[in-house]
A = this chain, B = another copy of it.
Amino acid sequence: LVAEDTGQPSPRAGSARETLGLFGALDTTEGIAAATSDRAWLQALLDFEAGLALAEAEAGLIPAPAAVAIAERCQAANFDLEGLGRAAPAGGSPVLPLIRALMDQLPAEAADWVHWGATSQDALDTAMMLVARRSCRLILAELDGAIQAGAQLADRHRSTLQVGRTLLQHAVPTTFGLKTAEWLSALVEVRTILTDVDAHRLAVQLGGAAGTLASLEGSGPQVVGLLAERLQLAEPLLPWHTNRVRPAQLAAALALVAGVSAKVAQDVLLLSQREVGEVSEAVTEGRGGSSTMPQKRNATGSVAIIAGYRRAVGLVGVIQGGMAQELERSVGDWQAEWTTMTELLRLTGGVSHQLHQLLDGLQVDETRMTENLALSRGGVMAERVALRLTGSLGRAPARQAVEEALRRSGSQGTSLREELAEDPEVSRELSPAGLDELCDPQAYLGANEVFIDRALAQRPGQSQEHA
């Protein structure tokens, strides 16, 4: 009896956040906007009321025909969303006017049993969890897409040499495959975390006025169980009116999703700078252009991800900072949660969508990677040479020899290899062939293959061995 069709934007539109407006398409998708819209909230509130009535009927607390009649009216389309919103301030939430409106649509013998024994917070918290559930499904689907795309990049580019950059300076060689494997690994981690929260921590709320469920006389716990089953949410051990671990955990998980997405976007932005040019976002018709400069191409997807992440972090802080809720119902911290969580889901949904798109379409310029790796004329192999020479020369002399070769290479425009060959002490230790091998980036990739394979194996559905 629970309404199924809450995911679509209403054709009648008209209410807040139902359409994307001027900026919304930069933040999120139509699907996520719909799943987090006021109409989705309205339906979730009604799903609670329907589920509650049916569960109470099953427990023998209210008449079954009343429950069926209530559940049948619990469709968002039957209600004037804007009118409910306008009536919300009197009671501090839209639940009171919603109950009144629902009762008005029912015969007295059914109306009397609407919202039986529940408190407004029961409806609002459960609705928040339903909205979260429906949004998490969309977010997880986008993450799966991003993981799939990331895995393909990691596998395809496992031998694509690229310079590793630490503190934005050239360090040692790596591969683009390993970089994407690291993205992939982080994405799988946050997918696991969000999946876990989705599966086990999104719970029904039902405590009645002050958490005793006295209003349901002896049947409280039974009704909680039945309601949880109907709404496919977890059954909590106790009401959690002012225990906000669940919302805070969900918020933290969403922050991780946004954070990992932002890490990828940050890398893409840096690698797609004019002077670097190693990757670029997919060129879509009309996308990334400038209002005034014909030659420009902007990484708008990455920018949207960073922007979404920054905003998400601010919202998470509101929820994490709102856990000291007063006695049996809070005066402010709880009321700050509803729209904060909604916006957080909306933004994280947008971020994960953008990430999926970004990875799906990422353009890789292997030539530029090769060219950039060569910029230091072998300088990126300095670590290897110094380590190798340590055995024979000792650490300090080895490092000194390499540093001097680097200095000459820098001032004379020669390669590190050439300058090393000029050094009699080095030549004594290393044959020309040995030097060639030492200065070959391809031969200095360490556990590149192992790490890439591990990241690929870490994907959902693959076997796992490590933490």
Contacts and interface: CB of A to CB of B under 8 A. Distances in A.
Contacts of A26: 88-89, 92-93, 335
A35 B95 CA distance: 27
B249 A216 contact: no
Given A22-B81, A185-B243, A259-B324, A455 B238 contact: yes
Interface stretch (A52-60, A137-145, A267-275, A421-429): A267-275
A437 to B, nearest CB: 12
Contact of A182 (B238, B272, B275): B238
Contacts of A208: 172, 292, 446
Given A210-B174, A216-B446, A307-B335, A168 B273 contact: yes
Contacts of A243: 182, 185-186, 189, 260, 263
A62 to B, nearest CB: 10
B215 A383 contact: yes
A315 interface: yes
Interface in A161-214: 164-174, 178-179, 181-182, 185-186, 189-190, 193, 200-201, 203, 208-214
Interface in A358-416: 372, 375-376, 379-380, 382-384, 386-387, 390, 394-395, 399, 402-403, 406
A14 B44 CA distance: 22
Contacts of A311: 318, 336, 339-340
A244 interface: yes
Contacts of A284: 90
A8 interface: no
Contacts of A269: 168, 331
A314 interface: yes
A166 B332 CA distance: 12
A16 interface: yes
A214 B255 CA distance: 33
Contacts of A249: 193, 252, 256
Contact of A16 (B16, B170, B292, B314): B16
Contacts of A203: 467
Contacts of A38: 21-23
Contacts of A275: 273, 275-276, 372, 375
B454 A238 contact: yes
A332 B318 contact: no
Contact of A402 (B294, B317, B326): B294
A152 interface: no
A41 interface: yes
Number of copies: 4
B86 A20 contact: yes
Interface string A274-304: 1110000000111111111111111110111
B252 A295 contact: no
A406 B266 CA distance: 28
Contacts of A22: 15-16, 38, 41-42, 81, 84-85, 88, 94
B387 A117 contact: yes
Given A91-B298, A103-B395, A248-B252, 17 more contacts: A18-B21, A20-B85, A90-B287, A91-B286, A112-B394, A171-B210, A172-B208, A172-B210, A172-B214, A174-B211, A211-B451, A212-B446, A215-B383, A215-B384, A255-B320, A260-B323, A294-B399
25 contacts: A15-B21, A16-B18, A16-B20, A16-B23, A89-B304, A90-B284, A115-B292, A118-B292, A165-B329, A170-B274, A178-B211, A182-B240, A189-B245, A203-B467, A212-B451, A237-B467, A244-B259, A249-B256, A262-B332, A266-B326, A270-B327, A292-B383, A302-B331, A310-B318, A316-B320
